[in-house]
Amino acid sequence: MNPRILEATAIEGHKLKLLFDNGEQGFYDCSGLLDFGVFQELQDRNYFKKAKALDGTVVWPHGQDICPDTLYLDSVKD
């Protein structure tokens, strides 16, 4: 199983700064998701900044979430 998210912070653009439970840090760019279904709401920068880590992944108040494996495998590690 891939590492899970301990902390998530919205940074410039539509990127997330992530801290994984194995101690690694990474950056995930959400801009490729913004035109699809429930993720369209993330286009609103104020809403995007409400991202938080919960149960090993990243979630937003209206139920959007991203698979933690995707976040780990596709993030650029620091």
SS3 assignment, position 35: coil
| Residue 1, pLDDT score | 87
Q: Which candidate, 43, 45, 53, 59, places its Cα nearest to that of 11?
A: 45
pTM of the predicted structure, to 2 decimals:
0.95
| Parts of the chain with a pLDDT under 50 | none
Domain-wise residue ranges, the chain: 5-77
Cβ-proximal residues to 74 (8 Å cutoff; 6+ apart), any chain = 28
CATH 3.30.2020.10 is right for the domain spanning 5-77: yes
| Residue 40, pLDDT score | 98
